[in-house]
Amino acid sequence: MAFQVMLNFILAFVWMFLSSNFTAAGFIVGFILGVIIILIMQRFFTSRLYLARVWAIIKLSLLFLKELILANIQVLKVVLKPELDMQPAFFAYPTVLTQDWEITLLSSLITLTPGTVVVHVSDDAKTLYIHAIDIDDVDEAVASIKNSFEKAILEVSKS
């Protein structure tokens, strides 16, 4: 992936020098032409195209923003209710993520979402222990995390 990024920048600079256009617009045109050339040469690379990983990172960021807004609305509803009928709970979340940065990212995304906190990661890093402020169904919460954050992180990390 790093080779593809460097190749794209080199192609952008080569375009700038060949066209004698040393402006930001000239660099952007060269960068876009570099992307097109890399797309054409895609079958010669052993790894996944770097633009696919960039797109997966953008999707993960948008997913986090969506989940953040929805969780804020849910916490606001809990706070504004006249009677407290919350059902807080601790639950174990088994993860298929293997790399440390993936587990850290998943833990951070869960903790940054209001109403949930990762309180512990097991020693073998295969289970996250999560506290939720208001939860009806643990299986539904586990499936929600698995189908949203974990799936998006796996999309970013696949090679």
Question: What are the tens digits of pLDDT across the range 53-98?
Answer: 999 999 999 999 999 999 899 888 888 888 888 889 999 999 999 9
pLDDT on residue 91 = 94
The pLDDT assigned to 42 comes to: 85
In three-state secondary structure terms, 17 is helix
Any idea what DSSP says for residue 98? -
Contact 78/70 with Cβ under 8 angstroms?
no
Predicted local distance difference test score (pLDDT) of residue 159: 65
Residue 36 has pLDDT above 80, yes or no: yes
Report the alpha-carbon distance of residue 57 to residue 156 in Å, rounded.
6
**pTM, to two decimals:** 0.80
Among 76, 77, 63, CA closest to 144:
63
Residue 4 burial class via C-beta count within 10 angstroms: exposed 0-12, middle 13-18, buried 19 and up = buried
What digits encode the pLDDT tens for the residues 116-125?
999 999 999 9
- Segment 140-149 shows an average pLDDT of 92
Per-residue confidence band for 9, with pLDDT thresholds at 50, 70 and 90? very high
